[in-house]
């Protein structure tokens, strides 16, 4: 329930605080007094886009604040999911700065406009005159039926199944498009894969081949060096190995009486053993190294082939070529298994379609089940509003294709007369008739949807007299279940309110200011009498005003 609305520095309103109550509240005022301005201010705090032009004093910020009692509407989880502090008396605040920037807060927590709109949609329904155009909108009509049917669970289940079905169709299309593209590349891929497969590449072989080629390219130099080393170690006039052997023997003889002689002897023995091993290995390696032009050519050809493949595929290692080979293999396997994959996807699509068809039938059934209830309610209300011969029907044209909301194409059909053919409402209804039909629908929704608050902005346009009185009674009756606020120019409706605010303008030397006042009982009588008789209030008008307020 909307408890209060505070407006500061918005258009013609310098400062206003309006304390609302439960039941049916009316707001009146002369044309141009500022009723629409007040509604515009409320729209800002409910998440509408801001405009710096709404600021009255351009040097100060505009602040709109509304307080809602949300204790009975189960919104705690919604607040927690958005990480916003939950309060049973929730404060929505909007600030428009002179720079044009806008800020929004819920319980002093900064929020974005999407959250503000989502929250306000759960708290209040503002019906302005342009909303009457919704009567010709099939989506609005569908929402009315779903609200009365209370089929949220079925609708959500259908939407989930629909999106899954559409995704599978999209996946199949992508799969087919990918396959078509890959088919064009298949021959090229097969050629590349065959080339890499026949190359029989081995990880690490490039480095080994390059080392071997380097050795073969320097065979003579290597043999010469090894030969010189072997000669010095074994075959010179004073071979190093033999000389070292004699030194080892000499140190061994004196080790027993030389301090630390055993250590020197052992170290010399180790050097001798190591040098002897080196000499033997040099001799052996010298016999192994041979110039082999055939082997050198084979290695060079193998490396040339590897280098060519690397250049072709823009990589610098055999390992990278192996990865490319595996990728090509995977692509070719995918092409080979496309038919199997397509069969699998088609099975999933068929299964999803069966589920979707069942849910669509359930959704249609839930909607058609309340058609008669809606028709009877609207026709009954229209009779109360002075249209005894009005007929209202809900039709459903079943579509062959599935849509986001099902296969149903709901249409509201209307006729004001017995003999006239039922037709789409905007085509046959006058402005006053459309207002009455919309009021009936809002009355229906107020019970089904359970909104805390509904605001009517001159929904009574195009009606007067007895019909206006009956519209007021319907709003008054709605006010027993929810909070109803009506901005009206009709005394018959104003007389039905539990609370009555008047919007008026005052002139100063420098500006025009709009103000809002809660009227006392006597002030209400005078206001309604003025609405009946004009600027000159007569005794008859006063008596008539009292009658309207009492009945």
Q: What does the pLDDT average to over 35-61?
A: 86
- Taking only the tens place, the pLDDT of each residue in 490-548 is 999 999 999 999 998 888 777 778 888 999 999 999 999 998 887 788 888 899 999 99
Mean pLDDT of 33-45: 84
Judge whether 299 and 219 are in contact, CB under 8 Å: no
Domain-located, residue 216: yes
pLDDT at 133: 60
Q: Sign of torsion, CA 487 33 51 60? A: negative
Q: Are 45 and 519 in contact (CB under 8 A)?
A: no
Report the candidate in 478, 460, 479, 456 with the shortest Cα–Cα distance to residue 469.
Answer: 460
The reply to whether 194 and 74 lie within a common domain is no
Phi and psi at 426, nearest 5°, equal -60, -20
pLDDT (0 to 100) of residue 354: 96
User: What's the pLDDT at 134?
Assistant: 65
Q: Are residues 27 and 113 in the same domain?
A: yes
Provide the domain count of the chain.
Answer: 2
List, for residues 72-99, the tens digit of each pLDDT value. Answer: 888 898 898 888 999 999 999 999 998 8
Q: Answer yes or no: are the C-beta atoms of 223 and 286 closer than 8 Å.
A: yes
DSSP letter, residue 234 = I
At residue 131, the pLDDT reads 61
- CA max distance for the chain: 152
What confidence category does residue 177 fall into, taking pLDDT thresholds of 50, 70 and 90? confident
Give 365's pLDDT tier (boundaries 50, 70, 90).
very high
Is the separation of the CB atoms in 440 and 454 below 8 Å?
A: no
One domain for residues 72 and 194: no
pLDDT, residue 450, reads 60
Looking at the structure, do residues 214 and 319 belong to the same domain, yes or no? Answer: yes
Single out the residue of 283, 269, 286 nearest to residue 233, CA to CA.
283
Q: Is residue 153 part of a domain?
A: no
More confident residue, 370 or 259: 370
Q: Are 207 and 94 found together in one domain?
A: no
Backbone angles phi, psi at 27, to 5 degrees: -130, 125
* Overall size of the chain counted in residues: 551
| Statement to judge: residues 4 and 79 lie in one domain | yes
Q: Which residues neighbour 519 within 8 Å (Cβ) at sequence distance 6 or greater? A: 500, 501, 502, 527
- Of 336, 362, 384, which one is at a domain's C-terminal end? 336
Tell me the average pLDDT across 398-413: 92
Domain boundary among 336, 363, 395: 336
Residue 102, CB half-sphere, CA atoms under 13 Å: how many? 19
Choose the weakest-confidence range: 140-144, 179-183, 303-307, 500-504. Answer: 179-183
- Report the alpha-carbon distance of residue 284 to residue 462 in Å, rounded: 117
Task: Report residue 188's pLDDT band, with 50, 70 and 90 as the boundaries.
Answer: confident
Query: How confident is the prediction for the chain on average, in pLDDT?
Result: 86
In a domain, 358, yes or no: no
pTM for the whole structure: 0.64
Residue 104 pLDDT > 70: yes
191 and 113 in a common domain? no
Q: Whose CA is closest to 477, among 24, 102, 12, 122?
A: 24
State the CB neighbour count (10 A cutoff) for residue 128.
15
Task: Specify the CATH number for the domain of residue 106.
Answer: 3.40.50.300
Domain for residue 408, yes or no? no
Residue 217 covered by a domain: yes
Q: What is the pLDDT of residue 368?
A: 95
186 and 102 belong to one structural domain: no
- Examine residue 533 and state whether it is found in any structural domain, yes or no: no
For residue 59, the enclosing domain spans 1-123+452-519
pLDDT per residue as tens digits for the range 332-354? 777 777 778 788 889 999 999 99
Residue 252 lies in a domain: yes
Residue 109 and residue 211 in one domain: no
Average pLDDT over residues 168-190: 80
* Rg of the chain (C-alpha set): 46
Q: pLDDT tens digits, residue range 267-277?
A: 888 888 888 88
Which residue has better confidence, 132 or 172? 172
pLDDT on residue 176? 83
**Banded pLDDT at 50 (limits 50, 70, 90):** confident
On whether both 202 and 275 belong to a single domain, the answer is yes
Is residue 549 assigned to a domain? no
Dig out the tokens for 286 from the structure: 């010298």
Mean pLDDT of 346-363: 95
Residues 6+ apart with CB under 8 A from 90: 67, 68, 70, 75, 106, 107, 119
């Amino acid at each position: 329930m909307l408890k209060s609305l505070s407006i500061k520095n918005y258009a013609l309103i310098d400062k206003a605080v309006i304390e609302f109550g439960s039941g049916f509240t009316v707001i009146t005022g002369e044309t141009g007094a500022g009723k629409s301005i007040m509604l515009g201010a409320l729209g800002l705090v409910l998440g509408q886009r801001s405009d710096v032009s709404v600021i009255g004093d351009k040097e100060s910020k505009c602040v709109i604040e509304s307080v809602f009692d949300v204790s009975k509407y189960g919104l705690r989880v919604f607040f927690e999911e958005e990480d916003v502090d939950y309060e049973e008396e929730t404060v929505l605040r909007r600030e428009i700065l002179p720079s044009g920037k806008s800020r929004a807060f819920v319980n002093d927590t900064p929020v974005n406009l999407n959250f503000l709109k989502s929250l306000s949609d759960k708290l209040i329904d503002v019906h302005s005159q342009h909303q009457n155009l919704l009567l010709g909108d099939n989506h609005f009509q569908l929402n009315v039926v779903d609200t009365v049917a209370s089929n949220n669970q079925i609708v959500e289940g259908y939407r989930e199944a629909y999106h899954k079905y559409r995704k599978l169709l999209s996946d199949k299309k992508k799969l087919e498009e990918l396959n078509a593209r890959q088919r064009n590349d298949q021959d090229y891929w097969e050629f590349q894969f065959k080339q890499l497969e026949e190359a029989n590449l081995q990880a690490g072989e490039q480095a080994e081949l390059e080392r071997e080629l380097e050795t073969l390219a320097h065979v003579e130099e290597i043999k010469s060096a090894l030969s010189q080393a072997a000669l010095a170690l074994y075959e010179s006039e004073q071979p190093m190995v033999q000389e070292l052997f004699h030194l080892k023997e000499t140190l061994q003889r004196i080790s027993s009486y030389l301090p630390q002689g055993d250590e020197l002897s052992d170290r010399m023995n180790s050097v001798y053993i190591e040098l002897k091993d080196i000499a033997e290995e040099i001799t052996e390696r010298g016999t192994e190294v041979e110039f082999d032009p055939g082997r050198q050519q084979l290695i060079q050809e193998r490396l040339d082939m590897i280098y060519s493949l690397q250049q072709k595929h823009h990589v610098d290692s055999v390992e990278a070529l192996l990865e490319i080979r595996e990728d090509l293999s995977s692509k070719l396997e995918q092409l080979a298994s496309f038919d199997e994959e397509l069969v699998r996807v088609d099975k999933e699509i068929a299964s999803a379609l069966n589920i979707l068809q069942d849910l669509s039938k359930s959704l249609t059934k839930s909607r058609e089940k309340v058609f008669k209830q809606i028709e009877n309610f609207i026709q009954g209300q229209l009779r109360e509003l002075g249209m005894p011969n009005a007929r209202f029907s809900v039709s459903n044209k079943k579509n062959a294709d599935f849509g986001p909301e099902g296969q149903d194409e709901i249409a509201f059909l209307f006729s004001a007369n017995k003999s006239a053919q039922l037709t789409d409402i905007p085509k046959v209804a006058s402005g006053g008739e459309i207002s009455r039909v919309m009021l009936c629908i809002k009355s229906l929704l107020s019970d089904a949807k359970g909104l805390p608050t509904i605001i009517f902005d001159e929904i009574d346009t195009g009606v007067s007299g007895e019909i206006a009185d009956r519209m007021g009674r319907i709003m008054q009756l709605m006010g027993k279940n929810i909070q109803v606020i009506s901005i009206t120019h009709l005394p018959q409706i104003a007389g039905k309110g539990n609370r009555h605010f008047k919007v008026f303008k005052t002139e100063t030397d420098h500006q025009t200011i709009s103000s809002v006042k809660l009227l006392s009982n006597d002030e209400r009588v005078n206001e309604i009498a003025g609405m009946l008789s004009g600027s000159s209030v007569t005794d008859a008008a006063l008596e008539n005003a009292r009658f309207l307020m009492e009945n």
